[in-house]
Amino acid sequence: MSDETVKPLLSVALIGCGRVGVKHLNSIFKAKDSLQLCALVDTDIITAKAFLEKFIINNRKAASAFPRVKFYTGIDALLLDMTPDIVAITVPSGFHYEIAYRAISSGCHILLEKPMTMKTSEAKELYDLSVATGRHIAMGHIYRYLPIMGLIHQDFISEKWGKISHGSVVVRWGHDQAYYDQAAWRGTWKLDGGALMNQSIHALDLMCYLMNTYPVSVVSQLAKRFRNMEAEDIGAAVLRMENGALCVLEGTTATSPSDHEASFYINAELGSLRVGLRKGLPFFDIRDKKGKKVTRKYYREELKAKGLRGIIDAKNPHYLIYRDLINCVRNGDDPIADARSGYKSVEAMLSVYRSAKEHRQIDIPGDSDFDLNDMSGYFN
């Protein structure tokens, strides 16, 4: 490789050394040809140090890949000392806005876990800031990175499938009580929300991405049936999309943790599709208007576009988000799960909650701001 083609490594600081932080660290390690981990940040410094130690024990080559990692207890201490090219934010959702705002205002690009924020106006602010500063926000909307999703999205953009009647999103991502009990922020209105805001927001985002449209109104209901927490463990909504199609959403954590499902159905004039994940494995059933399976055509196109490596890498969608962001930082494109997807999904999901709270249809965008914490006391 000539010197001209060698690109400098992008420095990355990871804020939040918890459950999903491991997937990020693993992805940063996998992308070590382009990324250099410069800092780990966690309010609990012992957790941050143990997090890296454990990772190095499990991945022997990580010691040489991560030679100069500094530790900080917060974003302010980090930014006083350095300005990383990328800040990855994997803290409880209620802290996303504050940390993302500080990082992007300091000139960093961001990889931000979902949901973008807990308040509509704050999501809009981050989106506007991203546009104004030219700094990217790549969202942790992992479903957009599953195989074939980009091809389907392109088909709907070019109206290859004709008019859409409706879609249906089912998220049955079971979590037992121990999951909610392991950290005080889980299942609270202020910092997390329930099955819709946490487990279903990126599924609703995928539906909007596939159908190439966003919701303009919603009616919904929430319930808390099995789990002991502040927020809902089941929510159901009917959304009307800008293109006139309906979208039905079911999101729950009340199902079995050993049978996770996130599935997506779309019916259009010229075909239908059922895609998603069941027990960790993707499934695809794409049919033309006569009901004939055309899934293989999509497999072939995906393979041609991404090669076998690309298909294998899709098992780790967080890694693909990093790869996408690296390319975007270098060539100026927008990430597949961009700042707008973060803002629009928060706007839509908070409208779902608002409809349940106010027992009425909510237009999107609404006439006033909404904060998930406005749901406080809903189940009292």
Ligand X SMILES: NC(=O)c1ccc[n+]([C@@H]2O[C@H](COP(=O)([O-])OP(=O)(O)OC[C@H]3O[C@@H](n4cnc5c(N)ncnc54)[C@H](O)[C@@H]3O)[C@@H](O)[C@H]2O)c1
Report in angstroms how near the CB of residue 72 gets to ligand X at its nearest.
9
Give the binding range for ligand X (CB under 6 A) out of 41-49, 59-67, 241-249, 269-277.
41-49
Tell me which residues in 249-278 interact with ligand X (CB under 6 A): none
Report in angstroms how near the CB of residue 343 gets to ligand X at its nearest.
16
CA distance 226 to 229: 9
Which of 9, 32, 47, 151 forms a contact with ligand X (CB under 6 A)?
A: 47
Token pair of 294 as six digits:
């055309």
Token pair of 145 as six digits:
């990175």
Nearer to ligand X, 203 or 286 (CB): 203
Report in angstroms how near the CB of residue 361 gets to ligand X at its nearest.
28
**Upstream peptide bond of 115 is cis (omega within 30 degrees of 0):** yes
Nearer to ligand X, 55 or 95 (CB): 95
Per-residue contact flags (x/-) with ligand X for residues 75 to 104, judged by CB under 6 A: ---------------xxxx-x---------
Residue 352 contacts ligand X per CB under 6 A: no
Report in angstroms how near the CB of residue 115 gets to ligand X at its nearest.
7
Residue 213 contacts ligand X per CB under 6 A: no
The closest alpha carbon to 210, from 286, 158, 153, 150, belongs to: 153
Report in angstroms the alpha-carbon separations of 368 from 120, 242, 340, 365: 9, 20, 19, 8
Strand ranges for 76-163 from DSSP E: 86-89, 109-112, 137-139
Strand 35-41, strand 137-139: pairing: unpaired
Give the binding range for ligand X (CB under 6 A) out of 9-17, 29-37, 258-266, 344-352.
9-17
Residue 43 contacts ligand X per CB under 6 A: yes
Token pair of 122 as six digits:
């704050």
Report in angstroms the alpha-carbon separations of 20 from 25, 26, 203, 352: 9, 10, 17, 26
CA distance 107 to 264: 37
Q: Which residues bind ligand X (CB under 6 A)?
A: 15-21, 41-44, 47, 74, 90-93, 95, 113-114, 140, 142, 183, 198
